[in-house]
Amino acid sequence: MSTSEKPRRARSLRSSSDQARSRGLLGGAVFGALLLVALLAWRHGARELVAPGPLARPHAGFTCTSCHAENTAQITCGGCHGPHPSSRSAHRSLAVEGTLTCGTCHAVHRSEAGIAFEPDGSVSIFDTGFDQVVVPPPPPIASVSARAANDRELTPSRLSSATLVPLVRAGACAECHDLDGARDPARSCVTGGADSFSLCFDEHRRPATKTASAATARDAALERARFLVRSRSVTAPLGAPRRLLAAGMPVALACGGALVFGLVLRRRSLARPTEPSGRAVVPGVRRLPVIDAARCLGCHACVDACPYDALGIRRYVAVLERPEACCGAGPCADACPNGSLTLLEGALPLAGPRLSNELEVSGRPGLFLAGDVTGSTLIRNAARQGVAVARAVHARLAGSTHGDDSPGSERVDLLVVGAGPAGLAAGLTARSLGLSVVVLDQAGVAASIRRFSRQKLVLDAASREDEALPLWLGDAPKEELLERWQRTLRGARLEVREGVRVTGVEGSGPFRIEAELADGARAGFRARHVLIAIGTRGTPRPLAVPVPEACVARVHYELSDARAFAGKRVVVIGLGDVAMESALALAAQPDTHVTIVHRGAGFSRGARRNIDAVGRLLARGRLRLVLGASVRALGVASLEIEVLGGVRSLPYDALFVHVGTVPARGLLESAGVAVRGEQG
Amino acid sequence: MAADAWFRSPLLRGLDARGRADVRAAARLHALGAGALAFAPGDAADTLWFVGSGAVALASGRGVVRVGPAGHFGTEALVRGAVRAVRAYAEEESSLLELPVSAVRRILARADADSALARAETAARREAFALLLAESALGRALDEAALAGLVSVLGEASRGRGERYFSSGEPARHALFVTGGVLELAASPGTTFAVRGDWVALEAALADSPHVETATALGDTRVLTLPASALRELARRHPAELAREREAAEARRARQRRVRGAAPGAARDGFSELERLESARSLLAIELDACVRCGHCTVACAESHGTPRFERRGEHAALVLVGTEAEPVRRALLFPHACQHCRDPACLVDCPTGAISREPDGAVLVREEACTGCGACAKACPWDAIRMAPRSHGAPPGASPLVAAKCDLCHGASAPECVSACPTGAIVRLDPRRDVAEARGVLGRSDSAERAPSASKTLVRWLALAGLLPPLVALARVGSLSMRARGTTGVVAGCLSGLLVAQALVKRVRPLRVACAKVGARAGRRGLSLFVGAHSLAGFAACGAVVAHAGAVPSRGLAGALELVFWVVALSGGFGAVAYRSLPGRLRRLEREGSLPEDGPAERDELEQRLFGALSSQNGAVKGLARRVLIPYAGAPFGPLALLASGRGLAAEEAALTRRVERLLGGRRSERLAGAEVLVKTSVALRALAARRLVERALAWWLPFHLVLAVFLAVLLVVHVVGVMR
């Protein structure tokens, strides 16, 4: 068997962000795509969406059958436009052959550009998908007379509707012509690249069937269009940024929709399923593990789960080695993989206050105790008890009438003394049950847990059951635990008054509570029920020798951050669990010299794991242990200890005194709590 | 009942009904035909075999022993680390029961029926020790009688990680023979290592002089101890044999010093991973310069196992890989907490029900039906590679809902899912003795001839090829004048875009992915890297076709939206290709260990706490320095970008910041700034953390964007094509 330290808990597999990252992605994408199609359909019309493309102004509003004969690709332009063959013989003969069609030059679906001279005198340019007014430059001075004639012809009085002049892109000519060839006749018609417009406005001479004035107006329009094209004011497709915007807007909206929908889906899929609530626990009742030796696997799960090292393994079977150390909270039973370890419910603990099953102090109706002060241990137990008290108070109030509340009197349903796990759990439960509740604490929220050493793991959730506890519990560093609790408190808006030290609880039914504020002022509260959950921490037992003024700052009664003592000579007095944990944390710092001074002759109590860890460090020379020693005097730089009749001097930079605590009995006595036996 | 004949074996005879039930639950039943092999010499021994019916022959150099019904064999397994010495095969049709030793011990001890086992163990120990000794030159040289004499004086000892067997200067009372684990021997000419089969402290014990080395266990180790007096007696009787061993040991030390001395300064880090390399048979490693942090590996693992059997957290190490490359090359690797299928698995020993077993090929597997979910293996694993996970088929009543889960090498599949799912071929399973130069140099070379497929430079090559495409695009543009050509290029663009979208399916559909990985492996690439290259290439081609088809400026309506979406998809893909190529290396230089994005806030808190905690105990000069330089440095909004742009690693950045601080001070007061190094380190770590998060986001978020827009593209393309076809 190796001597290296093994972890005490098997870790569970958890999904990481790698798995969570793609949640909701597909749903969001599909939703976004559908949204995009819907947006485009709403904007351009559903029919145009599946058409080869939107149609420009001359053919706007046409359906497929307007031009295409039923079920054929045959296009019939002549029906509307009448026969107007090309004025160029080559084109005409090609058209007769069928090689050249209307669509060769006027590709209606791809590009049907043109200029519209509106009745109001403005000029628009259109193409498939856009149509906008342009401000054309005035014609050159040389053609003033022509312009006058032109303007006359195009005056509103003479035009009832817009005159449309089709434009043909050079790209259409390029199907047959070599636009770069020096000898190609079409070259003179083209001013730019494939997207520029042709200058050949004499392609179709209309037969003189129309009135002369109309023919003149048309010639004027063609003349003006030729000028506009030649002057390059209509060459490029207009408004590229606006078109980009027009196409980009639906895409951006769809992206937004995909994001929102995807996030909603993701949140839903990541929501953790609620676990079933655990078994009912009678708070305060002592329970002991019982092991079915025939079924026990000897797997160490319970041994590792026990926070007090009460269990051990003998010949591959678990045994309860130290029943007096058992906390009765049952992490062992929760850890047991096959149920061979069960908890047997026993009587109330022998020592401690006399309490009813509802945790009410006998002889003081309405006064409750919960948490460590009842003699039970563990954060989980304390929280359970707090919940039970709040429920009991709620049940009683539901039975009685609420009518005797005189307005203005500050009387609450439940007043909780002590904002530890029990007090907070009671306060939160009472609040959720609709009771008026005030929590008082002489220090602050969970002050005892706050004083745990830095990043100390609070091992209190070795449990698969997820009870309906109002406070989160889990194997986490104390910082995380406190942060979660603070968040819960903020969310529940529970009133916790800090810095209020309760000095007396008097009366019965309506209790009168005397308290002292941090600034020394006195305050009074009135409450129907009182819960005392002040724990047992009390105050640390002081050193037996006087501490000189000069070294007060170097004598500590608790260790919050061992890193502050790196590289120092530290003396720890005491060999209990607290002392050993401090010493271990300190010895883990680089270059720290830790000496443990203990009165006794060896390890007399404490968890086995701490004893083992100290033993390991002793073997590696990382710790020194002086047994059978007592402190004689405390100097500025060194400590005098008496060992085996002689006196030795120990230099130190910091001194930790962990020789137990003095319980806070005063309040309990003043509140009239009867105590059975004497607590160790 | 003939089938239960094994319960009449001397070892199992004392069992009650419950013990028998436990045996049945822990056992693996074998029905071997005549001539079929149970085990061969050299196989790792960790199970006992019981014969139910038929007969088994144990063949060795000394002859053949026959074991009939109710007999047992393979007792050498009672000594941990032992190997099989004989060839065991069925003489006729036989039914055999194979029981893990750890389960046998427990079952018998609980039934108080382990006296026969203890006797068998004593008998097996001598033979097993002799076999273990035979792994050294001395053991091979000695004759049988001398070996037996040697074995009779051997003792056993074990030490855990960091513990010492002896320190230099201590008198040498024993010589040690290592049977498991790695010992580090620190001495003045250079540190050497000893592994299974090596003698330690022979010289000192022979000369009766103090140790010149300090022997520290790098992990769990086991040794046999030979008293110095017995060694000297041996030297007197067999001087030649011992001289041979001393020569071999000297040669080994010289080789190790040469290998380690030849490694460049920083590469010596690789030797700190020696324990892992020694124990691992199949080590999962991620090449950090190629890993794009996409998490496909764990997603693929979760798809095939329900929950991922590893996560991308773990230690970094730089090792020289020899097996996977044409030339030995130093690679930054991440070792995720995934089962490495140890040569001497600690989990197997600690399993109370015998649910963990080792396959003949070395894979260590958990049998879910026998697992009780007690977590003993998870606690025993030194590499944190076993975790508890929900049962795959639901828990039977009364049983724990959780079972031990770990990598099973995707047993039965051709390649592990994680390896075949990696888009850049960054994840690989290594056999350290074959693929890692450090392990080869120190531990000796594995005789396995098979080579891992080569690592990928795929992306670079494909991108270089794709760089040829812009000229093609320009050509396509020139030819696009004709309307008919536009139609043709439209078809090409549509087909290419459709192909690109459809390619995404390859990654989602497992059989396609595996097939793709197989094709890639034939081309000498790992995972999906070939696929990524092909995707990039097709993407570039599609860009050209789209320019030719639709021009540069989007039109309005559906076609415009389609064109716009295409370009956004193409740009995001291009960004991804560049990010995949350039960011992993930068990210690696800023990391100390493998962490996931969700670890960021905690790490930040930790660093801030460390910064301000360290500051609180400093003098005014340091505090002033921190206020003026370090805290603004750590919190500068564009600091992370500057760090990324500079391409520096953590050490280089720390050096740069220290220089800046020194310049600022102009050489004065430097003695008062003694404690400032940790502040500089923490400030750099804070800026690096922000930079890492930036890079991680860039790597993580382009892909969802690309995918969502690709779905848009697919839908719009369908609508567009339907419209054109009408």
Each residue of B322-374: pLDDT tens digit?
855 567 778 889 999 999 999 889 898 889 888 998 888 888 999 888 898 88
> pLDDT averaged over chain B?
84
**In chain B, residues 618-677 whose CB comes closer than 8 Å to chain A:** none
According to the model, what pLDDT value does residue B112 have?
84
CA distance A122 to chain B (A): 24
pLDDT at B448 over 50: no
Is it the case that residue B421 has pLDDT exceeding 60?
A: yes
Contacts of B555 in chain A (CB under 8 A): 53, 128-129, 243, 247
Q: Is pLDDT above 80 for B43?
A: yes
CB contact at 8 A, B378 and B388: yes
B516 pLDDT higher than 90: no
Exposed, middle or buried: residue A323 (CB in 10 Å: 0-12, 13-18, 19+)? exposed
Q: Using CB atoms, which residue from A51, A246, A297 is nearest to B372?
A: A297
Percent of chain B scored above 90 by pLDDT?
24
C-beta atoms of B110 and A316 within 8 A: yes
Lowest mean pLDDT, pick from A188-192, A479-483, A642-646: A188-192
- Which of the four pLDDT bands, split at 50, 70 and 90, describes residue A460? low
Higher pLDDT, B702 or A6: B702
Tell me the pLDDT of chain A averaged across its residues: 77
Q: Under an 8 A CB cutoff, do A174 and B374 touch?
A: no
Identity of the amino acid at A456: K
User: Which A residues in the span 262-291 are in contact with B, Cβ-Cβ below 8 Å?
Assistant: 262
Which of A25, A240, A338 is facing B707, going by the closest CB pair? A25
At B671 the pLDDT is 65
Min Cα distance B403 → chain A (Å) is: 9
pLDDT in tens, B239-266: 988 888 898 888 888 888 887 776 655 5
Do residues A277 and A465 touch, judged by C-beta distance below 8 A?
Answer: yes
Q: In the predicted model, is pLDDT for residue B480 greater than 50?
A: no
Question: Which residue from A minimizes the CA distance to B220?
Answer: A2
d(CA B81, CA B79): 6
pLDDT, residue A71, reads 54
| Poorest-pLDDT segment among A135-139, A596-600, A652-656, B61-65 | A135-139
* For residue A615, pLDDT beyond 90: no
pLDDT tops 90 at residue A72: no
Q: What is the pLDDT of residue A97?
A: 83
CA nearest to B562, candidates B722, B371, B347: B722
- Closest C-alpha to A564, from A575, A574, A573, A553: A553
List pLDDT tens digits, range A172-224: 787 788 777 778 887 777 777 666 788 877 777 665 555 666 667 777 788 88
Distances from the Cα of A175 to the Cαs of A105, A184, A186, A189, B483, in angstroms? 9, 13, 12, 15, 7
Q: Which residue of A has its CA nearest to B563?
A: A247
What pLDDT does residue A678 have?
A: 43
Asked if the model's pLDDT at residue A409 lies above 60, the reply is no
Mutation target vs A (from B220, B483, B603; most A CBs, 10 A cutoff): B483
* B274-322 pLDDT tens trace: 888 888 989 999 999 889 998 999 999 988 888 888 988 888 888 888 8
Those residues whose C-beta lies under 8 Å from the C-beta of residue B165, and which sit 6 or more positions away, are: B157, B159, B176, B183, B200, B215, B216, B217, B223
pLDDT at A138: 57
- Residue B199 pLDDT > 80: yes
Confidence of residue A156 (pLDDT cuts 50, 70, 90): very low
CB contacts, 8 Å: A247 with chain B = 554-557, 560-561, 563-564
Chain segment B640-656, per-residue pLDDT in tens: 999 999 988 899 999 99
Q: Which of B416, B406, B424 is nearest to B514 (CA)?
A: B416
pLDDT confidence of residue B566: 92
pTM over the 0.90 mark: no
Q: Which residues pair with B95 in a beta bridge?
A: B31, B53
Closest CA to B245 of B139, B356, B389, B116: B139
Tokens 């000695």 belong to residue: B142
Cβ within 8 Å of B, A 327-356:
335, 337-339
Closest alpha carbon within chain A to B715: A33
- Is the pLDDT at B227 greater than 90, yes or no? yes
Does A172 reach chain B within 8 Å, measured CB to CB?
yes
Local confidence band at B713 (pLDDT 50, 70, 90 cut-offs) = very high
In this predicted structure, what is the pLDDT of residue B598?
87
pLDDT at A218 (0 to 100): 76
Q: ipTM more than 0.90?
A: no
Residue B682's pLDDT is 92
**β-strand pairing of A593-597 with A569-573:** parallel
Would you call B393 an interface residue with chain A, using a CB distance cutoff of 8 Å? no
For the stretch B654-695, pLDDT in tens is 999 988 888 887 766 566 666 778 889 999 999 999 999 999
CB A155 within 8 A of CB A221: no
Q: Which residue has the higher pLDDT, A103 or B406?
A: B406
Q: Residue B5's pLDDT is what?
A: 83
- Is the per-residue pLDDT at B34 higher than 60? yes
Substitution target in A14, A16, A253 with the highest count of B β-carbons within 10 Å is A16
In angstroms, rounded to a whole number, what is the distance separating the alpha carbons of residues A565 and A574?
18
- pLDDT tens-digit readout, A313-322: 888 889 988 7
Asked if A102 has any chain B CB less than 8 Å from its own CB, the reply is no
Selected residue with higher pLDDT from A355 and A238: A355
Q: Does residue B57 contact residue B89 with C-beta atoms inside 8 Å?
A: yes
Is some CB atom of chain B closer than 8 A to the CB atom of A130? Answer: yes
Please state the rounded mean pLDDT for residues B600-617.
81
Q: What is the pLDDT of residue B667?
A: 64
Q: Is A563 on the interface with B (CB under 8 A)?
A: yes
Q: Do A15 and B109 touch (CB under 8 A)?
A: no
A246 neighbourhood in chain B, CB within 8 Å: 556, 560
Q: Do A25 and B404 touch (CB under 8 A)?
A: no
Asked if A19 and B299 come within 8 Å (Cβ–Cβ), the reply is yes
Q: Give the per-residue SS3 of A93-141.
A: HHHHHCCCCHHHHCCCCCCCCEEEECCCCCEEEEECCEEEEECCCCCCH
Contact flag A298-B106 (C-beta cutoff 8 Å): yes
CB atoms within 10 A of CB A88: 16
Residue B296 and residue A24: Cα distance in Å, rounded? 16
Sign of CA dihedral A38, A43, A48, A52: negative
Contact A29 B707 (CB under 8 A): yes
What is the C-alpha separation between A108 and B683, in angstroms, rounded? Answer: 66
Checking if the pLDDT of A465 tops 50, the result is: no
Q: Which of A1, A130, A254 sits opposite B712 (nearest CB)?
A: A254
Residue range B114-153, pLDDT digits in tens: 888 888 888 888 888 888 888 888 888 888 888 888 888 9
At residue B91, the pLDDT reads: 92
Residue of A nearest to B104 (CA): A316
Residue A403's pLDDT band (boundaries 50, 70, 90)? very low
